[in-house]
Structure formats: C-alpha cells, structure tokens
C-alpha cells in the first residue's frame, strides 16, 4: 500500500492547499484545483493508497469552512473508493 503524508500546516490558504495536494498526490495537470476535481481524482485512484493528513486541526484553523469541506470531500472519496484510506494524524 502506498502511503502519502500531507502536512496541513503547509495548506495556509486554498491555493496552497491545492498545490500541496496536487504535488504530494501526483495529480494530473488537468486537475482543476477545486473540491469536485479532487473528489473525482481520488475516487478514480487505482491501487491501495493511504493518505495521512498531519496536523488536521491546523487545516481547520487556516481554512475554516473550506477546510471542513476539504476534509469532508476526502472522507467522501474514502467511502466511495475501497482502495483509498484517509486518516488524520493530529499528534504530529
């Protein structure tokens, strides 16, 4: 299983969050850097993948309601794709 760590402290605004996601997850150039596009790409992802988001509380601090929506999008993709697991590590 591939494990990808995301540092939420680097996601200081929407643009930074999507840049981090695109880079760490290896998302294609056509990724629209929005939540719908993120959901589509995560649900289509092949192979077992675990995404661990470090400092999830920081994500909420930086992004507020958008951070909540981002987290929900990732959890929805987790439920839709049996090969995807999204975890939040708040202790890092």
For residue 82, the model assigns a pLDDT of 97
* Separation between Cα atoms, residue 77 and residue 25, nearest integer Å: 14
Q: Which one, of 7, 54, 6, 9, lies nearest residue 26 by Cα?
A: 6
* Separation between Cα atoms, residue 46 and residue 59, nearest integer Å: 26
Residues with Cβ within 8 Å of residue 11, at least 6 apart in sequence: 17, 20, 58, 59, 62, 63, 67
Q: Which residues of the chain, if any, have pLDDT below 70?
A: 90-92
0.85 surpassed by pTM: yes
Helices (H), the chain: 14-25, 35-44, 56-80
């Amino acid at each position: 299983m591939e494990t990808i760590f995301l540092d939420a402290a680097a996601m200081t605004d929407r643009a930074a969050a999507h840049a981090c996601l695109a880079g760490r997850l290896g998302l294609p150039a056509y990724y629209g850097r929005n939540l719908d596009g993120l959901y589509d790409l995560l649900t289509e992802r092949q192979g077992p993948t675990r995404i661990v988001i470090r400092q999830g509380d920081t994500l909420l601090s930086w992004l507020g309601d958008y951070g909540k929506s981002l987290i929900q999008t990732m959890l929805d993709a987790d439920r839709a794709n049996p090969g995807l697991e999204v975890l939040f590590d708040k202790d890092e």
